[in-house]
A and B are shown apart, each in its own frame.
Chain A
Amino acid sequence: MIELENVAYSYGGGELLTDMTLSVAPGSFHFLTGPSGSGKTTFLKLCYGALQATGGHVRLFDRDVRGLSRDDVALLRRKIGVVHQDCQFLDHLPVTENVALPLTVSGQDPNASDANLKELLAWVGLTSRAGALPPELSGGERQRAALARAVIMSPDVILADEPTGNIDWEMSQRLLTLLVELNRMGKTILVATHDLGLIRAAKAQVQTRVLRISNRRLQMAGADL
């Protein structure tokens, strides 16, 4: 699904990531950890084609990203749901329209999927907040709305970048439960986080693989996790 082969990424003359090799198998649950500034977000952006590797090869669904146009990458990205730490919404549109945004940009009629949309909002517990604008949501509500948006196209892979960074423990457990549910439904999950408590809680519920970025390289995490 997502394959990285000797991938490197340089910016401003410095190499941020080097010699990264990874194959994300369908249905797997990966955590990516590492200190702040280690390159977790950059790594995730390479995994969904938002950044182009400066070395090696990134293959998404068996297609090398390097040879694709930006529009082709955008089409591939529709198979990958992304949840950002800062969520990134269109602040002038209500939650419903933000959640349905992937349908809108892919030319599908969100009204045709109205039942699905309502079900999704109920699943993340945002039915009562459907008409609210993003700035009116709490941190936890924003994260859950972002997760709903990430899964509305039934993507094969869900990437989450520090999804619990701005929310309390109880809310992060609720979010983890949703991610675990998705994984049990067969979705591939890759979560970048420095929250070791979240990783331990996940390991108690589902089989996970923990990766660590250290010294610009990707390593398997130790048994302490």
Chain B
Amino acid sequence: MNVDLRNTGRMLKFDERADRVVPPTGFTARLTLFSAFAMAFLAVFALALSLAAGRVADRWGNELAQSSTLRISAPAGEVATQTEAALRVLRTTPGIVDARALSLEEQRALLAPWFGADLPIDDLPLPQLIDITETDDGYDAAGLRLRLAAEAPAAVLDDHARWRRPLIDAAARLRLLGWAAILLIATATAAMVTLAANAALAANAQVIAVLRLVGATDTYIASAFVRRFALRALTGAAFGTLLGIVALFLVPSGSDTAGVLTDLSIQGVGWVWVVLIPPLSGLVAFLATRYAAGRVLEELA
């Protein structure tokens, strides 16, 4: 293990003369540079998607977790009585900060996106809605339902759990997909760098033979290739990340109701992940080239 770490240190150490012993490899250089550039660009978007999905999941979870709705569906003559009874129950229930019956105007505003602003709401047998605001710890929903059943039987409690859970699950899966995409991008980068390094090593079999003839160790030979590919990946990824960030700023931002697609921005500690993309690309290239070099040098031995 110590020897391995020492060799890794040697491989990373800049050595201009050692780097000159391997001839320039134009095609594989461009291939590695471009792959790292493209993958870093995609990684920025995958990261932004994942972070945005995380934010949305948190927001939906927090907003919906602290509010509930009570619906009074009773014959026209009983709505007011049952509403009063339900409000009395709600205001004496631990865990509820506030309970407020929505006015006709507020209910009209809720229906306006579907039926238009001119809806003759007075003529419709609409249920009365009561907006409930909870404390952080929330209330005992099962106990509240039992009390409502006794005092306001027409009241139906909707604590949002039924549709909140799938939304949060969907956002969490989207976040997971984002990270899976980043993992796939890293794997694809490693595969492409390995292929490019393999090609470069195979094309330089004669150079390797000469280096061995004059007493070069495998560590020394591998280092010359490893440094080169890691540096190319680092450079390509730096430009790809930069362009990805610029592109993110060009995505139209959303309003207060922003969802995943209109909130593809990097915020707060998310920038740490973005800044890590180029060095992580360099590390992936380093490990991939080291693996390729080990294999090719073994084959050429």
Interface residues in chain A, defined as those with a beta carbon under 8 Å from any beta carbon in chain B: 50, 70-71, 74-75, 77-78, 82, 84, 88-93, 97, 101-102, 104-106, 110, 149, 153
Contacts and interface: CB of A to CB of B under 8 A. Distances in A.
Q: 7 nearest interchain CB pairs?
A: A78-B215, A105-B216, A71-B217, A92-B23, A102-B214, A74-B217, A77-B215
A9 to B, nearest CB: 15
Contacts of A78: 214-215
A102 B216 CA distance: 8
Contact of A106 (B215, B218, B219): B215
Contacts of A92: 23-24
Contacts of B210: 88-90, 101
A77 B18 CA distance: 18
Nearest to A153: B215
A91 B206 CA distance: 10
B209 interface: yes
Nearest to B23: A92
Contact of A105 (B23, B206, B220, B297): B220
B219 A71 contact: yes
A88 B218 contact: no
Given A88-B206, A88-B209, A149 B301 contact: no
A110 B17 contact: yes
Interface string B189-223: 00000000000000000110111111111111000
A75 B216 CA distance: 8
Contacts of A102: 214-215
Interface in B1-59: 17-18, 20-21, 23-24
A93 B219 contact: no
Given A90-B207, A104-B17, A74 B216 contact: yes
Given A93-B20, A110-B17, A75 B212 contact: no
Contact of B212 (A50, A93, A97): A50
Contacts of A110: 17
A74 B218 contact: yes
Contacts of B24: 92
A105 B214 contact: yes
Given A88-B206, A88-B209, A89-B210, A74 B215 contact: yes
Interface centre among A91, A92, A93, A104 (most CB of B within 10 A): A104
A97 B218 contact: no
Given A74-B215, A102-B214, A105-B220, A90 B21 contact: yes
Contacts of B216: 74, 105
Nearest to A109: B17
A203 to B, nearest CB: 29
B215 A70 contact: no
B213 A75 contact: no
Interface of B: 17-18, 20-21, 23-24, 206-207, 209-220, 297, 301
28 contacts: A70-B217, A70-B218, A70-B301, A71-B217, A74-B212, A74-B218, A75-B215, A75-B217, A77-B212, A77-B214, A78-B214, A82-B214, A88-B206, A88-B209, A88-B213, A90-B21, A90-B23, A91-B23, A92-B23, A101-B21, A104-B18, A105-B21, A105-B211, A105-B215, A105-B216, A105-B220, A106-B215, A110-B17
B212 A101 contact: no
A68 to B, nearest CB: 12
Contacts of A84: 213
A139 B211 CA distance: 21
Contacts of A91: 23
A97 B24 CA distance: 16
A209 B263 CA distance: 84
Contacts of A149: 214
A221 to B, nearest CB: 27
A105 B212 CA distance: 9
A74 B220 CA distance: 10
A82 B213 CA distance: 7
Nearest to B216: A105
A71 B21 CA distance: 18
A50 to B, nearest CB: 7
A101 B218 contact: no
A60 B214 CA distance: 16
A133 to B, nearest CB: 11
Contacts of A90: 21, 23, 207, 210
Contacts of A93: 20-21
A50 B211 CA distance: 12
